[in-house]
C-alpha cells in the first residue's frame, strides 16, 4: 500500500492579476522507504504541490484532486485533523536552514516542545527522545547541543537539526523541499547520506523536491519531472535519467556539464525560458522550446500515459529508440 | 603572459569580535585569454580574494599586481585609468545593476568619452543581447540576461582581466549553460583573462583552463583543470570532487567529508585541513605545509607531496566507514 | 515559492498596483485632499462672506445663511473655515518642502562624507529627536516670537531630522550597493555616482515621507496656533479658531467646524501618504498575493 497517492492535483492561487493555475493535474505515488524525487525548475509547481497537501497555501487558493495518505484524503480533510497529522505523521524540511528554526529557542526546547505537543511525553522522556534524535542525525555532543541556539550551528548542522525535529514523532512521510540547495557540496553529501540512512532505518517514505538532477540521481529511487505545473515524465531513476524520453528531461540533462565531455564542447542550453504560471502555452507547455514538435503539440495537452517502463507525456516520444 | 598576479595576499576584517583573517596568504595568477577557476566552499575566502584582486578591499599584506602596476585599493578618489581594464562582475544580477537606469546607460559607464550607441549595441551583441535592450530597464530581463548585461558593462571598459564572483550561482541550469559558453568564448575570442570564482566544480571544470582550490583562507592546490580532476594532489580537492553528485542515473551517493569548516579566527595548528583529513599523519598538525611547487605546473599544500616531484595520487579511500 | 511571487519588484517607478477599488482609503484620501486644495485655490469664490467682516449677528447657530454659524465677533464661521485652508495648506506645504530639502541635504552630507561630519550632524538630529515635537516647536516658536511665520520656522526645526535620517540611511546603503561599486570600478568619481546612482534612489522615499509629514505639519501648525503661538487674531486659522471655540463651549459650532477641517485634512493626507508608501516599499504593503 503506498504511503501517499496523489491524483488529479490542481492548484489555483490568487494574484492581483486574477487566479492562476500553478499545478495543473498531477498524479504520483510514493511507497514506504522509498525516495521519490520531484525535479523541476522555478515555476514548475513542485513546491506549491507540496504546500497544497499540507494546507499551507495562502487564503483564496483552490485545490482539486485527492491525496490519499493512509485512510485519509489530505485535500478534503478538516483543518484540525490536518494540523494534527502534519508534524506528526507527515513532516517537512525546507530549503533555508537559517530561517526554518526558531532563532530564540534553544535546540533542546524546539525538539522537546515538538515531541511533547504531538506525543504527550513528559519532560524527562522528551529530553531523552531529543538526545536520541540528535544522535541519530549525528550532531556531535548531543547533550550540550540541547542547550545551544540555532545561530551557534553551521548551515549543515542546522539542517540536521531540522531533520531531527521532522523525525521526532516518527512520521511515515518526510517531504524535503530543496534541503541541500543552500549548502556546500561536501555538506550536501553528508545530508544526502543521512537521508538515505534514515529512510532505510525508519522505513520512511521521502519526497525530495529539487532542481538539481545530480542530487536526484544519487538518492532517488523513482523520479517525476515537473514542467509548468504538469508531470512530463515519471519512472525509475535509472531509466529516466540514463535514457530520458521527454525532450525537456533530455534538455535538462544536456545542459549539465558532463564529467566525460571534452572541454571544447559547449554546454547545450535550452532556448527560451520556463513559462510563468498564468502564461502557459496552449497544448504541450514545452512546445515553444521543443526541437521535436509535431502539429498536435501546439493544441493538445499530452496526457501522462504509460510508455513501456515509465509514464510519459509526449506523443512524438522522440527518444524512444534509446 | 601573466596580467593579474596576487602574491601571498592577506586580508583581515576588523569585526566586533576582533580581527578575522579572511584570506591568510593566497597567490593566484591570470594570463590574457586564460580562464582560471577559483573553487572553495563557504568561508574559504574566495569572494574576499576576488574583491582584493580588483581593489575593492585592501590587502593587509602581500601584493596585487595588474599589468605590472600595483592595484591600489579603491578609496575616495577616482580609480586610476590603468586599473579600469581590471573589472569585476558580481554574484547577484539583481543587486549589481541600478534599477533606475537604462541598460544602455549602465553599459556605457565603462566607455571613455562619448558613448555612441552603436558601440553599446556592438557589445550587447557580443554577449547575445538585442540592441533594443539599450533603452530598457534591468527589471525587464531575466537573471541570466541581467548577468550578461553586467558582463557587457565590464566589457565596455575593454578589460584585459575580468574577475567574476560566482556569476552563475543564482541562475537556472539553462541560463548557466548559456553563460558558461559565453565566458569561454570571451576568453578565446577577445583574449580576456577571466578569474572565475565558483563553488560549482562541474561548471568550473567545463570552463576553466586552470583551477585553484581554496580552504580556510589559503590556496591548497593549483593545477590545469583536467589534471586536477583526474589526479587531485590535495585531500581537500579529492574530497570536493568526490562530493559532487552526478546526474547519470547510477544512484551513487556522493562521498561526504566529516567535520566542519573551523572558525577562521581560530584555525587548526599546522595544516588547516588536518582535523578532517583522512590521510593526516604526525607531521600535519605540527607544521603548516606551504604551497609546494610540483612538476607539470602544479602545486599543492600537502605533506603527502614533495616539492619538485610529480604529484603523488591520493591513496584510495576504501569503504565509507570514514565518512558519515 | 517562486511560482507565486510575481518577480521581485524593488525600486521601480512603474509598480504593479492593486486596482483602485481595492484601495478605498487611498481613493478617499486623494479625493478629500483634492477637494481641500480646490477649496484653498478658489476660496474667494466659494466663501459667501468676508472672513474678517464682523457685521453679522453674533453667536448664531448653523443656518441657511451661515452654514457653520457665526462666532462671538459676528463673523461667518463657514467663510473663516474656507479662508483657513488658504492659511494652513500653503504654509504647511512650504514648510515641508523646506524641511525636506534641508533635512535631506544634511543627511546626504552625513552619509556621503561619513566620519566626523556624520557624527556631528547626526548628533544634532538626535538632539532634536530627543524632544517631543510639540514641546520643542513651542519652545522655538516662543523664542522666535508669535506669528505664523515663526511658527512655521519652528516646525521646520522640528521636522528636518526625520528627512536627514532617511536620506543618510539611503545614501549609505545605496552607496555600498554593488552597482555603485561597479560604477566606481569603471572609473566613475564618487561625486558622479552620488548624482547618477544615489540621489535618484533617495528621492522616492523622501517624497513619500514628505507626503506623510504634511499631515503632521498641519497638525503642529494648528496646535501652535491653538496655543497662541502661531496665527494671531484676527487671522482665520483653524487652530486658533478651535482655541476660540474652547472659550465659547456652549456655541459648539465655533470650535467644532474648524476642528473637523483639521481632522479631515490630516486624515486625507495620512491615507494618501500611506498608499504612496505602499507603492514604493512593497514590504510594508498589505499584499494581495503571497
Q: At C17, is the pLDDT very low, low, confident or very high (cuts 50, 70, 90)?
A: low
pLDDT in the model for residue A260:
67
DSSP C197: I
Taking the C-alpha atoms of residue C182 and residue C166, their distance in angstroms, rounded to an integer, is 24
Number of domains in chain C: 1
| pLDDT surpassing 90 at residue B35 | yes
DSSP C196: I
User: Could you tell me whether strands B2-15 and B61-66 are parallel, antiparallel, or unpaired per DSSP bridges?
Assistant: antiparallel
Number of domains in chain A: 1
Q: Do residues B69 and B85 lie in contact, with contact meaning Cβ atoms separated by under 8 Å?
A: no
How near does any CA of chain A get to the CA of B31, in Å? 19
How near does any CA of chain A get to the CA of B140, in Å? 14
Q: At how many degrees (to 10) do helices C148-175 and C115-129 cross?
A: 140
| pLDDT surpassing 60 at residue C6 | no
Greater confidence, C273 or B66? B66
pLDDT in the model for residue C230:
84
Give the count of beta carbons closer than 10 Å to the beta carbon of residue B283.
13
> Which residues lie across from A5 on neighbouring strands?
A29, A68
pLDDT in tens, C255-278: 899 999 999 999 998 888 888 777
| pLDDT surpassing 90 at residue A95 | no
pLDDT in the model for residue C195:
85
Q: Do residues C69 and C77 lie in contact, with contact meaning Cβ atoms separated by under 8 Å?
A: yes
Give the CATH number for residue A184: 3.40.50.300
DSSP A270: P
pLDDT in tens, A30-84: 999 999 999 988 778 898 999 999 888 888 899 999 999 988 899 988 888 888 8
Greater confidence, C283 or A4? A4
Is C10 inside a domain boundary?
no
pLDDT in tens, A134-162: 999 999 999 999 999 999 998 899 999 99
Is A34 inside a domain boundary?
yes
Q: Do B199 and A184 touch (CB under 8 A)?
A: yes
Show the domain range for C261: 22-53+75-283
Interface predicted TM-score (ipTM) of this complex, two decimals: 0.87
DSSP SS3 for A18 = strand
* Interface residue C185 vs chain B (CB under 8 A): yes
The grid coordinates listed for A182 are 543552500
Is A322 inside a domain boundary?
no
pLDDT in the model for residue A322:
64
| pLDDT surpassing 50 at residue A251 | yes
Q: What is the mean pLDDT of residues C91-104?
A: 94
Q: What is the mean pLDDT of residues C73-100?
A: 89
The grid coordinates listed for B101 are 537606469
pLDDT in the model for residue C19:
55
Taking the C-alpha atoms of residue A111 and residue A115, their distance in angstroms, rounded to an integer, is 6
pLDDT in the model for residue C5:
31
Q: Do residues B192 and B113 lie in contact, with contact meaning Cβ atoms separated by under 8 Å?
A: no
Residue burial A12-46, b: 16+ Cβ < 10 Å; e: rest? bbbbeeeebbbbbbbbbbbeeebbbbbbbbbbbbb
Q: Do A13 and C3 touch (CB under 8 A)?
A: yes
Give the CATH number for residue C175: 1.10.3720.10
For chain C, give the mean pLDDT: 82
HSE (side-chain half, CA atoms, 13 Å) at C200: 14
For chain B, give the mean pLDDT: 90
In chain B, residues with a C-beta closer than 8 Å to the C-beta of A145 are: none
pLDDT in the model for residue B317:
56
Closest CA to C202 of C103, C282, C128, C272: C103
* Interface residue A155 vs chain B (CB under 8 A): yes
Is C66 inside a domain boundary?
no
Q: What is the mean pLDDT of residues B273-291?
A: 93
Give the count of beta carbons closer than 10 Å to the beta carbon of residue A262.
8
Taking the C-alpha atoms of residue A169 and residue C85, their distance in angstroms, rounded to an integer, is 67
| pLDDT surpassing 80 at residue C57 | no
The grid coordinates listed for C285 are 504593503
Full-model pTM:
0.82
Show the domain range for A178: 4-89+169-312
In chain A, residues with a C-beta closer than 8 Å to the C-beta of C18 are: 16
Is A180 inside a domain boundary?
yes
CA distances from residue B272 to A214, B210, C75 in whole angstroms, order as listed: 30, 23, 89
Is C264 inside a domain boundary?
yes
Please name the residues between 13 and 72 in chain C that touch chain B, using a CB distance below 8 Å: 13
CA distances from residue C173 to A237, B84, C36, C169, C201 in whole angstroms, order as listed: 47, 24, 38, 6, 10
Is C16 inside a domain boundary?
no
pLDDT in the model for residue C18:
56
* Interface residue A255 vs chain B (CB under 8 A): yes
pLDDT in the model for residue B289:
94
> Rounded to the nearest 5 degrees, what angle is found at the Cα of C191, between the Cα atoms of C186 and C197?
70
Taking the C-alpha atoms of residue C70 and residue B321, their distance in angstroms, rounded to an integer, is 96
Q: What is the mean pLDDT of residues C109-137?
A: 91
pLDDT in the model for residue C15:
45
* Interface residue C115 vs chain B (CB under 8 A): no
> Poorest-confidence range of A292-301, B195-204, C66-75, C216-225?
C66-75
Percentage of the residues of chain B whose pLDDT score is greater than 70: 97
The grid coordinates listed for B201 are 566544480
Q: Do B260 and A154 touch (CB under 8 A)?
A: yes
| pLDDT surpassing 70 at residue C14 | no
Q: Do C185 and B79 touch (CB under 8 A)?
A: yes
pLDDT in the model for residue A218:
95
Q: Do residues A213 and A256 lie in contact, with contact meaning Cβ atoms separated by under 8 Å?
A: yes
Q: Do residues C101 and C118 lie in contact, with contact meaning Cβ atoms separated by under 8 Å?
A: no
**What's the burial of B194, exposed, middle or buried (CB within 10 Å: 0-12/13-18/19+)?**
buried
Q: At A267, is the pLDDT very low, low, confident or very high (cuts 50, 70, 90)?
A: confident
Taking the C-alpha atoms of residue A291 and residue B232, their distance in angstroms, rounded to an integer, is 39
Is A161 inside a domain boundary?
no
For chain A, give the mean pLDDT: 89
Contacts of C43 (CB under 8 A, 6+ apart): C82, C83, C85, C86
Q: What is the mean pLDDT of residues C107-122?
A: 90
pLDDT in tens, A175-217: 999 999 888 999 999 999 999 999 999 999 999 999 899 999 9
pLDDT in the model for residue A277:
83
Is A110 inside a domain boundary?
no
Amino acid at each position: 500500500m503506498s504511503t501517499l497517492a496523489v491524483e488529479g492535483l490542481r492548484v489555483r492561487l490568487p494574484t492581483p492579476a486574477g487566479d492562476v493555475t500553478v499545478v495543473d493535474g498531477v498524479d504520483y505515488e510514493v511507497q514506504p522507504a522509498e525516495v521519490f524525487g520531484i525535479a523541476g525548475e522555478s515555476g514548475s509547481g513542485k513546491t506549491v504541490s507540496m504546500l497544497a497537501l499540507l494546507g499551507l497555501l495562502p487564503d483564496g487558493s483552490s485545490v482539486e484532486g485527492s491525496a490519499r495518505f493512509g485512510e485519509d484524503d489530505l485535500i478534503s480533510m478538516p483543518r484540525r485533523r490536518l494540523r494534527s497529522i502534519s508534524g506528526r505523521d507527515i513532516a517537512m524540511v525546507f530549503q533555508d536552514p537559517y530561517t526554518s528554526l526558531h532563532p530564540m529557542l534553544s535546540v533542546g526546547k524546539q525538539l522537546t516542545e515538538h515531541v511533547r505537543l504531538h506525543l504527550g511525553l513528559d519532560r524527562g522522556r522528551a529530553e531523552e527522545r531529543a538526545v536520541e534524535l540528535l544522535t541519530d542525525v549525528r550532531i556531535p555532543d548531543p547533550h550540550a547541543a540541547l542547550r545551544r541556539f540555532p545561530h551557534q550551528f553551521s548551515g549543515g548542522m542546522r539542517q540536521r537539526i531540522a531533520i531531527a525535529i521532522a523525525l521526532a514523532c516518527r512520521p511515515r512521510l518526510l517531504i524535503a523541499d530543496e534541503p541541500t540547495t543552500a549548502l556546500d557540496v561536501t555538506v550536501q553529501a553528508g545530508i544526502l547520506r543521512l537521508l538515505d540512512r534514515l529512510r532505510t532505518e525508519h522505513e520512511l517514505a521521502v519526497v525530495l523536491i529539487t532542481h538539481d538532477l545530480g542530487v536526484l540521481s544519487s538518492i532517488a529511487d523513482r523520479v517525476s519531472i515537473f514542467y509548468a505545473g504538469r508531470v512530463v515524465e515519471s519512472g525509475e531513476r535509472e531509466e529516466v535519467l540514463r535514457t530520458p524520453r521527454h525532450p525537456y528531461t533530455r534538455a535538462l540533462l544536456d545542459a549539465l556539464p558532463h564529467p566525460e565531455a571534452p572541454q571544447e564542447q559547449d554546454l547545450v542550453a535550452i532556448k527560451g525560458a520556463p513559462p510563468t504560471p498564468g502564461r502557459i502555452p496552449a497544448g504541450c507547455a514545452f512546445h515553444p522550446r521543443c526541437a521535436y514538435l509535431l502539429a498536435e503539440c501546439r493544441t493538445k495537452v499530452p496526457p501522462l500515459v504509460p510508455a513501456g517502463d515509465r509514464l510519459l507525456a509526449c506523443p512524438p516520444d522522440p527518444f524512444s529508440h534509446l | 603572459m601573466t596580467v593579474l598576479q596576487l602574491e601571498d595576499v592577506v586580508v583581515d576584517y576588523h569585526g566586533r569580535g576582533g580581527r578575522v583573517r579572511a584570506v591568510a596568504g593566497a597567490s593566484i595568477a591570470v594570463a590574457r585569454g586564460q580562464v582560471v577557476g577559483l573553487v572553495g566552499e563557504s568561508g574559504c575566502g574566495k569572494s574576499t580574494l576576488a574583491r582584493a584582486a580588483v581593489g575593492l578591499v585592501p590587502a593587509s599584506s602581500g601584493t596585487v599586481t595588474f599589468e605590472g602596476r600595483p592595484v591600489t585599493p579603491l578609496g575616495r578618489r577616482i580609480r586610476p585609468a590603468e586599473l579600469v581594464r581590471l573589472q569585476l562582475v558580481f554574484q547577484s544580477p539583481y543587486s549589481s545593476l541600478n534599477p533606475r537606469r537604462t541598460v544602455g546607460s549602465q553599459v556605457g559607464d565603462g566607455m571613455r568619452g562619448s558613448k555612441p550607441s552603436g558601440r553599446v549595441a556592438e557589445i550587447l551583441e557580443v554577449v547575445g543581447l538585442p540592441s533594443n535592450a539599450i533603452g530598457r530597464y534591468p527589471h525587464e530581463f531575466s537573471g541570466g540576461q541581467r548577468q550578461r548585461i553586467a558582463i557587457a558593462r565590464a566589457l565596455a571598459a575593454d578589460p584585459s582581466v575580468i574577475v567574476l564572483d560566482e556569476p552563475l550561482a543564482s541562475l537556472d541550469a539553462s541560463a548557466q549553460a548559456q553563460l558558461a559558453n559565453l565566458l569561454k568564448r570571451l576568453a578565446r575570442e577577445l583574449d580576456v583573462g577571466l578569474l572565475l570564482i565558483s563553488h560549482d566544480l562541474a561548471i568550473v571544470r567545463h570552463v576553466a583552463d586552470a583551477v585553484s582550490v581554496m580552504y580556510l583562507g589559503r590556496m591548497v592546490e593549483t593545477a590545469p583543470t583536467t589534471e586536477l580532476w583526474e589526479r587531485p594532489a590535495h585531500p581537500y580537492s579529492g574530497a570536493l570532487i568526490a562530493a559532487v553528485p552526478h546526474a547519470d542515473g547510477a544512484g551513487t551517493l556522493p562521498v561526504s567529508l566529516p567535520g566542519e569548516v573551523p572558525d577562521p579566527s581560530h584555525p587548526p595548528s599546522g595544516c588547516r585541513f588536518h582535523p578532517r583529513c583522512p590521510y593526516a599523519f604526525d607531521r600535519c598538525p605540527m607544521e603548516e605545509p606551504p604551497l609546494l611547487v610540483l612538476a607539470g605546473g602544479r602545486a599543492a599544500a600537502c605533506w603527502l607531496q614533495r616539492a619538485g616531484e610529480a604529484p603523488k595520487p591520493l591513496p584510495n579511500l576504501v569503504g565509507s566507514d570514514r565518512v558519515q | 515559492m517562486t511560482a507565486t511571487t510575481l518577480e521581485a519588484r524593488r525600486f521601480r517607478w512603474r509598480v504593479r498596483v492593486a486596482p483602485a477599488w481595492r484601495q478605498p482609503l487611498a481613493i478617499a484620501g486623494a479625493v478629500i485632499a483634492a477637494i481641500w486644495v480646490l477649496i484653498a485655490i478658489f476660496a474667494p469664490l466659494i466663501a459667501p462672506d468676508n472672513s474678517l467682516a464682523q457685521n453679522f449677528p453674533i453667536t448664531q447657530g448653523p443656518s441657511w445663511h451661515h452654514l457653520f454659524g457665526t462666532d462671538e465677533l459676528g463673523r461667518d464661521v463657514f467663510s473663516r473655515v474656507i479662508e483657513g485652508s488658504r492659511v494652513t495648506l500653503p504654509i504647511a506645504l512650504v514648510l515641508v518642502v523646506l524641511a525636506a530639502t534641508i533635512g535631506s541635504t544634511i543627511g546626504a552630507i552625513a552619509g556621503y562624507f561619513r566620519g566626523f561630519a556624520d557624527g556631528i550632524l547626526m548628533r544634532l538630529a538626535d538632539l532634536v529627536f530627543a524632544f517631543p515635537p510639540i514641546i520643542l516647536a513651542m519652545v522655538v516658536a516662543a523664542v522666535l516670537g508669535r506669528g505664523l511665520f515663526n511658527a512655521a520656522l519652528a516646525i521646520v526645526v522640528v521636522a528636518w531630522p526625520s528627512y536627514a535620517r532617511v536620506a543618510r540611511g539611503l545614501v549609505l546603503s545605496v552607496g555600498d550597493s554593488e552597482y555603485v561599486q561597479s560604477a566606481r570600478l569603471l572609473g566613475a568619481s564618487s561625486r558622479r555616482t552620488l548624482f547618477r546612482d544615489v540621489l535618484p534612489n533617495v528621492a522616492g522615499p523622501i517624497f513619500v515621507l514628505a507626503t506623510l509629514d504634511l499631515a503632521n505639519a498641519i497638525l503642529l501648525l494648528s496646535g501652535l496656533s491653538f496655543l497662541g503661538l502661531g496665527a494671531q487674531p484676527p487671522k482665520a486659522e483653524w487652530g486658533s479658531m478651535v482655541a476660540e471655540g474652547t472659550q465659547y463651549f456652549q456655541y459648539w459650532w465655533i470650535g467644532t467646524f474648524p476642528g473637523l477641517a483639521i481632522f479631515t485634512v490630516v486624515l486625507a493626507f495620512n491615507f494618501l501618504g500611506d498608499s504612496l508608501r505602499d507603492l514604493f516599499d512593497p514590504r510594508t504593503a498589505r499584499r494581495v498575493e503571497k
